[in-house]
Amino acid sequence: MEKNFLITTGGSGGHVIPATILYDHLSKEANVILSTDKRGLKYLDKNIYKFKVINTPKLNNIFFLPFNLILILFLTFKSFLLLKNYNIKKIFSTGGYMSLPVILAALFLKLEIYLIEPNQVLGRSNRYFLKYCKKILCYSKKIKNFPDNFINKMTTIYPLVKETIYKIKSSNETQKNLLY
C-alpha cells in the first residue's frame, strides 16, 4: 500500500517553513502534497514541492461572513476531492485558518489528522481541531492555552530544522570529537 500524505499549512513563513521541512522528511518514505493559500506560495520553491492552492478567506469580517461561509463550504468540497483523488491517508497541519477546509474534509473521510504547533502559544485552528486529531506535535510541553484534557495527545519533538542545517551541526560535532 502506498503512503499518501497531505500537509496543510497557513500562509505565513512560521507555518510554511516547518511544513516544507516536514515535507522534505516525509517525502523520502511517502508521496506528499502541500496545500497552502496564495500567501504561502512566496515561501515555496515551486520546482521542488508538489502543492495545491486552497485560498481560504479569513472569517474575521462580519460583513463578508455569509459569503465566506459559502466559500469555505465550496473549498471543503474541493479539499474532499483532492483527498480522494490523491488517495490521501494522513493529514499533517501546521495550523492557520487556511487549514479549515482540508481538515473538515479529512474529518468527513475519517482520515488520521496530526497537528503541528510550531509556536509556544496554541493557535486557534489547532485548538479547535485538538478533539479530532490523533496527535499534536509540539516543541515543548509548556504551550500556552493548551487544554489539560488533551494533554495525552501531545508529543514533544525537536524543532524542525532543514536537513542541511542538521548536517552542518552533525559535521561540526564530528570534527570537534576528532580534534579532542
The domains located in the chain, with CATH, are: 4-179 (3.40.50.2000)
Sign of CA dihedral 153, 154, 158, 163: positive
Per-residue buried b or exposed e for 94-109, using 16+ beta carbons within 10 Å of the residue's own CB: bbbbbbbbbbbbbeee
Q: What pLDDT, on a 0 to 100 scale, did the predictor assign at position 172? A: 58
What pLDDT, on the 0 to 100 scale, is given for residue 166? 64
pLDDT at 129: 95
What span, in angstroms and rounded, lies between the C-alpha atoms of 162 and 24? 8
According to the model, what pLDDT value does residue 168 have? Answer: 65
pLDDT in tens, 48-83: 999 999 988 877 777 888 888 899 999 999 999 999
Instruction: Output the pLDDT for position 7.
Output: 97
pTM equals: 0.86
What mean pLDDT is predicted for residues 71-98?
95
